[in-house]
């Protein structure tokens, strides 16, 4: 049984929405954030990545950064301005990109459900990133980033969504510079109980994207609870902000890899080694067309890698669902034994490139000498994600890239 609640959103006035809305804090580095926010004093990156307004000598995890975020949030409330809805609502958030559209319910979800695995995870989190967002939440008293949840669709909820889109005027409707269209509706209060009742029938929800945001909200709740002798369990900090989309609308792109060095192997030695486990063929194709095959870019040439039948048979016998994923196959039969990458989370010889950047980004990084070899992968399916979550397993790091992404700043939750 999933607990979902309406809330009073802090949000920009209609005319300022496109100026305030920003890409998620964790898909850009500091230099990119500076570029995105340049010339726009209302950019929400000035809150989620407040270090862009501070000296390079200041650690990005310094308390000064979180205090600056709080200061900027207070400033934007006055200058954008940002307003708080007088009543609690659910919101509908629709994303459109390249002919694909998805519409989800924005709400707050029980942290108890997260802690007790009613809301299921598929990814480990890193303490340094948890620390960062926990400090950000506690200092600003706000959840400024949105978790992306999914569920096995329910007809009654789908009907509410479809009727809203067809018959109601949105409060926001704009296309960002990257071509993604963002449309938001405020749902009438009369729908609050219906939506709560329908979601209460669902056994499990799934985190698609935003594991660190959810984990940080849980840690922030503990800090707030420990500091509150009158804690009742009904306080705002007992919930986290998310938008939940039906699984059949979710679009997953691959999370590709670049490698910095061949572990002291020559090109010929490297190809000979991988040929023991994979069929390696030069190809004009840059992305794989099916599971258990891979694109590889090396020395200005593309190759297609296909797992050999003998290895394929052993993988199929695996007791672990996550062990059969393409990212696991690359790790177990190429990255670890040939390149010496024992743990992708900690190795300095590997980096991860979101699928939205495409094969051109892989070519660019190899051609300019930053990387030596790049691998393009076939995307994980939403069905595999759910199976792994249901089984209590964890995917390898950076297995999924969800697109289009929600904008920060359109809906904020004060705790």
Distance CA 203, CA 152 (A): 10
State both tokens at 138. Answer: 């506690």
Looking at the DSSP bridge assignments, the partners of residue 305 are 280, 294
325: Cβ contacts below 8 Å, ≥ 6 apart: 380, 384, 395, 396, 399
Asked if 301 contacts 324 with a C-beta cutoff of 8 angstroms, the reply is: no
Residue 318 has a pLDDT of: 74
- CA neighbor of 385 nearest in space, from 176, 262, 189, 211: 211
195: Cβ contacts below 8 Å, ≥ 6 apart: 4, 6, 90, 105, 107, 157, 160, 187
Distance CA 150, CA 245 (A): 5
Distance CA 26, CA 412 (A): 17
Distance CA 145, CA 366 (A): 33
Asked if 366 contacts 259 with a C-beta cutoff of 8 angstroms, the reply is: no
Residue 31 has a pLDDT of: 93
Q: Domain locations in the chain?
A: 4-251+404-414, 255-378
Distance CA 106, CA 165 (A): 14
Residue-by-residue pLDDT tens, the chain, 415 positions: 789 999 999 999 999 999 999 999 999 999 999 999 999 999 999 999 999 999 999 999 999 999 999 999 999 999 999 999 999 999 999 999 999 999 999 999 999 999 999 999 999 888 999 999 999 999 999 999 999 999 998 999 999 999 999 999 999 999 999 999 999 999 999 999 999 999 999 999 999 999 999 999 999 999 999 999 999 999 999 999 999 999 999 999 999 999 999 999 999 999 999 999 999 999 999 999 999 999 999 999 999 999 999 888 888 767 788 889 999 999 999 999 999 999 998 899 999 999 888 999 999 999 999 999 999 999 999 999 999 999 999 998 889 999 999 999 999 999 9
- CA neighbor of 298 nearest in space, from 338, 342, 332, 326: 338
In angstroms, the Cα distances linking 409 to 33, 143, 366 are 14, 10, 35
Distance CA 16, CA 11 (A): 10
The separation between the first and the last C-alpha atoms of the chain, rounded to the nearest angstrom, is 23
| Alpha-helical runs (H) found in 202-261 | 211-226
Distance CA 226, CA 220 (A): 10
Residue 186 has a pLDDT of: 98
Looking at the DSSP bridge assignments, the partners of residue 280 are 305
Asked if 1 contacts 16 with a C-beta cutoff of 8 angstroms, the reply is: no
Please name the fold of domain 255-378: 3.30.1760
State both tokens at 9. Answer: 């959103």
State both tokens at 167. Answer: 């018959």
Gyration radius (Cα) of the chain, Å: 22
Tokens 């979601």 correspond to what residue? 199
């Amino acid at each position: 049984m999933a607990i979902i609640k309406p809330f009073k959103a802090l949000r920009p006035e209609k005319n300022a929405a496109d100026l305030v809305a920003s890409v998620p804090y964790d898909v850009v580095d500091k230099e990119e954030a500076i570029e995105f926010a340049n010339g726009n004093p209302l950019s929400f990156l000035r809150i989620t990545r407040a270090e862009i307004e501070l000296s390079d000598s200041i650690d990005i995890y310094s308390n000064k950064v979180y205090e600056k975020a709080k200061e900027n949030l207070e400033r934007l409330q006055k200058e954008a301005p940002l307003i708080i809805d007088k009543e609690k609502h659910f919101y509908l958030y629709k994303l459109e990109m390249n002919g694909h559209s998805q519409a989800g319910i924005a709400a707050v979800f029980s942290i108890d459900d997260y802690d007790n695995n009613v809301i299921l995870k598929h990814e480990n989190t890193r303490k340094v990133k948890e620390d960062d967002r926990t400090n950000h939440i506690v200092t600003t008293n706000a959840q400024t980033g949105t978790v992306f949840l999914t569920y096995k669709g329910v007809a009654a909820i789908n009907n509410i969504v479809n009727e809203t889109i067809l018959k109601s005027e949105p409060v926001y409707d704009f296309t960002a510079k990257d071509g993604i269209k963002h449309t938001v509706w405020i749902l009438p209060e009369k729908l609050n109980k219906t939506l709560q009742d329908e979601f209460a029938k669902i056994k499990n929800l799934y985190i698609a994207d935003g594991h660190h945001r959810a984990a940080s909200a849980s840690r922030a709740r503990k800090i707030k609870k420990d500091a509150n002798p009158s804690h009742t369990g009904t306080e705002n900090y007992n919930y986290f902000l998310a938008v939940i989309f039906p699984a059949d609308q979710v679009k997953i792109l691959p999370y590709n890899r670049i490698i910095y060095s061949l572990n002291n192997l020559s090109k010929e030695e490297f190809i000979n080694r991988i040929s023991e486990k994979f069929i390696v063929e030069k190809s004009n194709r840059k992305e794989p067309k099916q599971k258990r095959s891979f694109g590889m870019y090396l020395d200005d040439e593309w190759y297609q890698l296909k797992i050999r039948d003998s290895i394929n048979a052993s993988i199929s016998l695996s007791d672990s669902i996550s062990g059969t994923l393409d990212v696991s196959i690359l790790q177990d039969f190429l990255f670890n034994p040939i390149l010496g990458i024992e743990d992708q989370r900690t190795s300095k010889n590997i980096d991860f490139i979101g699928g939205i950047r495409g094969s051109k980004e892989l070519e660019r990084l190899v051609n300019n000498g930053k990387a030596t070899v790049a691998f393009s992968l076939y995307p994980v399916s939403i069905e595999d994600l759910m199976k792994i979550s249901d089984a209590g397993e964890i995917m390898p790091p950076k297995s999924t890239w969800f697109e289009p992404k929600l904008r920060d700043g359109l809906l904020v939750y004060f705790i």
